[in-house]
Amino acid sequence: MLSLQALSGQLLVGLINGSFYALLSLGFAVIFGLLGIINVAQGTFYMLGAFGSWMLLNYTGIGYWPALILSPLIAAIVGMAIEKTLIARVYKLDHIYGLLLTYGIMMFIQGMFVYWFATAGRPYPVPIDLRGGFDLDFLFLPKYRAWVVLASLVFCFATWFAIEKTSLGRTLRAATENPQLTRAFGINVPALLTFGFGAGVALAGFAGVLAAPIYSVSPLMGGELVITVFAVVVVGGMGSILGAIVTGLTLGVVEGLTKLFYPPGANMVIFVIMFIVLLIKPAGLFGRER
Amino acid sequence: MTTNPAADAACLVIEGLHGLYGDSHVLQGVSLKVDRGEVVTIIGRNGAGKTTTLRAVMGLLDKRSGSINVWGREVIAEAPERIAKLGVAYVPEERGIYATLDVTENLLLPPRVGPGGMSLDEIFRLFPNLRERRRSQGTRLSGGEQQMLAIARVLRTGARLFLLDEPTEGLAPVIVQQIRGAIEMMKQEGHTILLVEQNFRFAQRLADRHYVMERGRIVDMIARADVASQAARIQAYLGI
């Protein structure tokens, strides 16, 4: 029989997964919207974020809270260097070249980490301030998981706000819509693209640090996730900021609930939804037809 | 204004400009000169290379060679954003209003590139329609309002050289009058304007000189004083 405990438990698991889907697909949407690059390496930057915090802790003793800022920053710097040297060269080509290039980058970075660290997961301790949890009668809510959902929501909202309501966002939207004309107004669009790529990567890195204490840190952690994230992005609509956030959270919950009602379907429910959405609304739920 | 007009009277000097648009060799050695404070038009038939000349000045043409000098600086190899920063403003033929930005955001987008730009209030006084529609999405505006917005947008920036591409194309007479008013005001303030225009009657009342363009070259130059006596020649050039 369906119990409240089981239901709320799966809802929580779904929300947690959805938080990661939302953050990752948001970074994906920022990068695709701005640069037109299908960044398959987004999962790799998530892994870099998680590994960054693990290395900071184990090699330098720097703990979770500083790592939450430092690690995404490092990932962003790596990402911006890659954008400047490699990705900037394929903007004028078909989308498929960006996809292939970032796929190559993913294989390269992931391969290096497998070589150095092997594939076994490494634990990352939950920060002391967030140990324990709240007993809500029907559900034991670990503090850390509540924090993940909260932090993800705050970051998603902040990103949406920055793009829709600030002057930086205004410039980013203009650069997305008409890069040539935007340059003719005196705006350095190439630099803006590098920054945008860095911001998208930082979102993935941030998700990686959040994930480290929940899932173990492993070189392959991003490769598995990116497939699901890709499906989320397609359902939400390529490049749609709001679509990425809403779809990420919703599909996480849907996946969690499927685990409860029909466990064998849990692994494929997101892809089934993607299939249906593509049939009915090929631009995605929040996407604009091009 | 200037103590040594000979030294810095020239605002834009183009010499032997060649430009490719895709595979076609659109500009075949364009040479022209615009002095500070002048309003100069480029007239000519469709496909003569007028728009491409403006795009080349703005750095928006991938393949260009020759010389483009803006206030004594060679910009033939400069990126568009660097050219804009010299105080050059561009109003494209297609107007380039951003659909993802509302009217106010469109107005606020271009950064300031020099002192003395208009404030948002002054702009709204010049184009009251824009004030009423300031929260509308840019591309929801009528064609005339979009053209006003395209011009208003660069009046804020403090630019001193304006490249205007067919600002009256397809607009109702009453709107054309408003656009003319804005250009006359810019001229009075001492701005330099290079105007591409098909509507010769419009151009004639504003411009100090007219360059005639044919097949990628400047083939003639007619001063304001000669327009009346050269009417037949001009008509032949424009194919009217």
ipTM of the modeled complex? 0.91
What percent of chain A is modeled with pLDDT above 70? 99
Has residue A214 got a pLDDT over 60?
yes
Nearest to A185 by CA among B25, B158, B181: B158
Taking only the tens place, the pLDDT of each residue in A168-206 is 999 999 998 999 999 999 999 999 999 999 999 999 999
The verdict on a CB contact (< 8 Å) between A186 and B111 is: yes
Partner residue facing B101 (CB), from A170, A180, A189 = A170
B51, B57, B61, B100, best to mutate vs chain A, most A CBs in 10 Å: B100
Residue with the two structure tokens 């599909």: A251
Note whether A123 and A228 are within 8 A (CB): no
% chain B with pLDDT above 70: 96
Given a contact cutoff of 8 angstroms between Cβ atoms, the answer to whether A76 and A27 are in contact is no
What does pLDDT average to over chain A?
Answer: 93
Q: How far apart are CA B235 and CA B240, in angstroms?
A: 5
> Over 90: is that where the pLDDT of A136 sits?
no
Residues of A in contact with B81 (CB under 8 A): 183-189
Region for residue B75 given its phi and psi (left: phi exceeds 0; alpha: psi -120 to 50; beta: otherwise): alpha
The full DSSP string for B2-63 is -S-HHHH-EEEEEEEEEEEETTEEEEEEEEEEEETT-EEEEE--TTSSHHHHHHHHTT--SE
From the number of C-beta atoms within 10 Å of its C-beta (0-12, 13-18, 19+), residue A47 rates as buried
Three-state secondary structure string covering B160-229: CEEEEECCCCCCCHHHHHHHHHHHHHHHHCCCEEEEECCCHHHHHHHCCEEEEEECCEEEEEEEHHHCCC
Q: Which two tokens stand for residue A218?
A: 């492993």
Contacts of B138 (CB under 8 A, 6+ apart): B97, B98, B99, B100, B101, B102, B103, B105, B106, B146, B149
Instruction: Indicate the pLDDT class of residue B1, thresholds 50, 70 and 90.
Output: very low
State mean pLDDT over B114-138: 92
How far is the CA of B145 from the CAs of A211, B125, B163, B170, in angstroms?
Answer: 50, 14, 19, 12
Provide mean pLDDT across the span B27-53: 94
- CB contact B111 to A (< 8 Å): yes
* Residue B199, pLDDT score: 87
Three-class DSSP category at B94: coil
β pairing state of B192-196 and B209-214: unpaired
- Work out the average pLDDT over B198-223: 92
- Using CB atoms and an 8 Å cut-off, which of residues 45-104 of chain B contact chain A? 58-60, 79-81, 83-85, 89-90, 92, 96, 98-101
Mutation for testing the A interface, residue in B82, B104, B109 having most A CBs under 10 Å? B109
Report chain B's mean pLDDT, rounded to a whole number: 91
Which helix (H) or strand (E) is A82 found in, with range?
helix A64-85
The predicted-structure confidence for A244-271, as pLDDT tens digits, reads as follows 999 999 999 999 999 988 989 988 999 9
**Could you tell me where the DSSP H helices lie in A133-188?**
143-165, 167-177, 179-184
Report whether pLDDT(A109) > 70.
yes
Per-residue pLDDT band for B236 (boundaries 50, 70, 90) equals: confident
- Higher-pLDDT residue of A225 and B3 is A225
Q: What is the mean pLDDT of residues A112-133?
A: 93
Query: What are the two backbone dihedrals, phi and then psi, of residue A186, each rounded to the nearest 5 degrees?
Result: 95, 15
Structure confidence at residue B91 (pLDDT): 96
Question: In this predicted structure, what is the pLDDT of residue B8?
Answer: 61
List beta partners, residue A142.
A133
Selected residues 147-176 of chain B with any CB under 8 Å from a CB in chain A: 154, 157
Q: How confident is the model at residue A287 (pLDDT cuts 50, 70, 90)?
A: confident
A289 pLDDT above the threshold of 80? no
Contacts of B83 in chain A (CB under 8 A): 184
- Closest Cα partner for B57 from B80, B26, B87? B80
The answer, yes or no, to whether residue B6 has pLDDT greater than 80, is no
Quick one: pLDDT at residue B121?
94
Rounded to an integer, what distance in angstroms lies between the CA atom of residue B42 and that of residue B32?
A: 10
Tell if the CB–CB gap between B157 and A188 is shorter than 8 Å: no
Residues whose CB is less than 8 angstroms from the CB of residue A65 and which lie 6 or more positions away in sequence, other chains included: A127
pLDDT for residue B2: 42
Q: Which residues pair with B165 in a beta bridge?
A: B196
Contacts with B135 from chain A: Cβ below 8 Å: none
Q: Can you tell me which residue has the tokens 């699901």?
A: A228
If DSSP codes are grouped into helix, strand and coil, which group holds residue B88? Answer: strand
Strands (E), chain A: 133-135, 140-142
The C-alpha atoms of residue A288 and residue B157 are separated, in whole angstroms, by 32
Tell me the average pLDDT across B195-200.
90
- Average pLDDT on B133-154 reads 92
Q: Is B4's pLDDT higher than 50?
A: no
B84 to A184: CB separation less than 8 angstroms, yes or no: yes
Q: pLDDT (tens digit, 9 = 90+) per residue, B41-84?
A: 999 988 899 999 999 999 999 889 999 999 999 999 999 999 99
Nearest C-alpha neighbor of A153 from the set A281, A268, A248:
A248
Task: State residue B138's pLDDT score.
Answer: 87
**Is a pLDDT exceeding 80 seen at residue B5?**
no
